[in-house]
Amino acid sequence: MKPKQESLSSIEQWMRDHFPDTHVDSHHIESGSVEDVVLFRAHADHASDPTYELLISYEAFEDYRSDDIARDLDRLKVAEVLRKRPEQRLMYDRHRRVGQA
């Protein structure tokens, strides 16, 4: 089931807080064969600036409140990892794990 807009907005705000001076957006990616996810992107105006990308599974949104997910992202230092390796896309899953997507 698609996550509620309220949950998406909460994670978008988390991205804005951790990546100031970027534009944040989210997109549903529904594959049918693997996990459906929401892609969150924080990007600047210039193409030469890094883009930070985080996937969160629909199941994670079903199992946990968005503020719990945001606390996990802080605890797991997701923003720091993305800043160090912006070319790496990370994924948060229903088991409260973050790994390379």
Given a contact cutoff of 8 angstroms between Cβ atoms, the answer to whether 44 and 52 are in contact is no
Whether pLDDT at 33 is above 70: no
pLDDT digits (tens, 9 = 90+) for 74-98: 999 999 999 999 999 999 999 999 9
pLDDT at 73: 98
pLDDT digits (tens, 9 = 90+) for 41-74: 999 888 788 999 999 999 999 999 999 999 999 9
Q: Would you kindly state where each structural domain of the chain is located, as residue ranges?
A: 5-92
The answer to pTM > 0.75 is yes
